[in-house]
Amino acid sequence: MNYRIEKDTMGEVKVPADKLWGAQTERSRNNFKIGASASMPLEIVYGFAYLKKAAAYTNCDLDVLSKEKRDLIAQVCDEILEGKHNDQFPLVIWQTGSGTQSNMNVNEVVANRAHQIAGQVIGEGEKTIQPNDDVNKSQSSNDTFPTGMHIAAYKKVVETTIPGVIQLRNTLHKKSLEFNTVVKIGRTHLMDATPLTLGQEFSGYVSQLDHGLKALQHTLHHLSELALGGTAVGTGMNTPEGYDVLVAKYIAEFTGLPFVTAENKFEALAAHDAIVETHGALKLLAVSLNKIANDIRMMASGPRSGIGEIIIPANEPGSSIMPGKVNPTQCEALTMVCAQVMGNDVAISVGGTQGHYELNVFKPMMAANILQSAQLLGDACVSFEEHCASGIEPNHQVIKELLNNSLMLVTALNTKIGYYKAAEIANTAHKNGTTLKEEAVNLGYVSAEDYDEWVKPENMVGSIK
């Protein structure tokens, strides 16, 4: 492999000749060989591209950067956003907690690519654009990385998570309306309870997702606040007057999202409560989705030796030894995603505690985890909707059999003959293997006519809206 020599404040470093990165990137690549597959998410790189372009425009407007340098930086940032240089960002998540090396990785790639665009050869002559003095002007890793991760997380949530959850929510709402008159037995403690409709049961799932979506959308305001302009410790040292407000306006313009400058830069650098808060809402959705998927899995269990109240799509063979077996694979995939998100929330919560004085130093891990959770939840909701929820149908025969066989229908007699006599009827029927009606009449507590009049499952489900 051919190499060229790059320099930083610690001296010379050999860098692969065909790469755009420089000395600091290469040092990090050599010093942090931890989890080769745990690359810094490209979404963070793209967040940096947005902010570097915005910083260049802002610096130019405030007369601290030339228009020529602004345009070169912006051109390279646009190339990065188009995915043209994805292979130029080799660093892993497990690096310095401020993300300094990733910030410099972007600075070096922008500078060297700008040198190429200017008609020069990388490694020869003075750089057309300087990584620190030009690309990183008015910035610090301490305010660029939190800005980049807010941009990345906000975009991921609004472009992937929320649409995916809404798609599933809408299908479950449609099913709740379709199933609203399908009376079935309810269950509490996994034991028979009083009846409800399948639609009412599904309406609970819809409400869970509605609450989760509201919680997630509520966190976006905090996530939209950007640290850029705080530089090293939040004071804004080495930034021109008005820089923080203007750079946030440019980021909002370039992304099409409502980003603003953070009211308090000290909080924005030293604490990442917005990430903790947003991921808390993602965890809430994971908890809800786990319950929904497990309910559907259990209701579909069987097909002949389980509950079998609903029929879910048969998507693929379920066993390499048992012919004809089909499994609730979408339920399993969704609940595994939920487990991962819950685990990520623990890591993010721990990361949020690592703000010592003026800087939180768990930024890369927190950024990677929230992006993974947001992506997984959005993708899993779409997959579950397309391959499971949209095809759910009631098994009317089984629902009717289980409903009519339930001892908890005796609850309808409470107000007629009292709790204790009703309990005696249920216990006797269970002991003798007989029906509630038979034992109610045998015990002399009600007539057959009264039983038929009072014990009607369809009258026990409350109002159906």
Percent of residues in the chain assigned helix, strand, coil, to nearest 5 = 60, 10, 30
**Which residue(s) pair with 360 in the sheet?**
355
Residue 283, annotated as binding a ligand: no
Q: How far is CA 124 from CA 5, 118, 173, 279, 308, in A?
A: 10, 12, 63, 46, 72
Query: What values do phi and psi take at 260, rounded to 5?
Result: -140, 165
Please tell me whether 142 is known to bind a ligand: yes
Virtual torsion, Cα 168, 220, 259, 21, nearest 10 deg:
-70
Q: Is 326 annotated as a binding residue?
A: yes
For residue 406, give both structure tokens. Answer: 């339930």
| Active-site annotation holds for 115 | no
The DSSP 8-state label assigned to residue 224 in this structure reads: T
What crossing angle do the helices spanning 363-387 and 42-61 adopt, rounded to 10°?
Answer: 120
Catalytic residue among 66, 218, 221, 319: 319
Tell whether omega for the bond before 195 is within 30 degrees of 0, i.e. cis: no
**97 within 8 A of 360, measured Cβ to Cβ:** yes
Question: 242: annotated binding-site residue?
Answer: no
Residue 39 is assigned to a ligand binding site = no
Residue 315: phi, psi to the nearest 5? -95, -30
Measured over the CA atoms of residue 295, residue 300, residue 305 and residue 309, the dihedral's sign is positive
What's the rounded Cα separation, in Å, for the pair 452 and 436?
Answer: 11
Active site annotation includes 319: yes
What is the rounded distance in angstroms from the CA atom of residue 110 to the CA atom of residue 104? 10
d(CA 91, CA 96): 11
Q: Which of 37, 189, 305, 463 is catalytic?
A: 189
Cβ contacts of 99 within 8 Å, gap of 6 or more? 44, 141, 144, 145, 148, 363, 364, 367
Residue 288 counted as an annotated binding residue: no
Main-chain phi, psi angles of 290, to 5 degrees? -65, -40
User: Is 320 annotated as belonging to a binding site?
Assistant: yes
Q: Is 308 left (phi over 0), alpha (psi -120 to 50) or beta?
A: left
Tell me if 155 is assigned to a ligand binding site: no
Is 138 annotated as belonging to a binding site?
no
Provide the annotated active-site residues.
189, 319
Residue stretches of the annotated binding site: 98-100, 140-142, 188, 320, 325-327
Residue stretches of the annotated binding site for substrate: 98-100, 140-142, 188, 320, 325-327
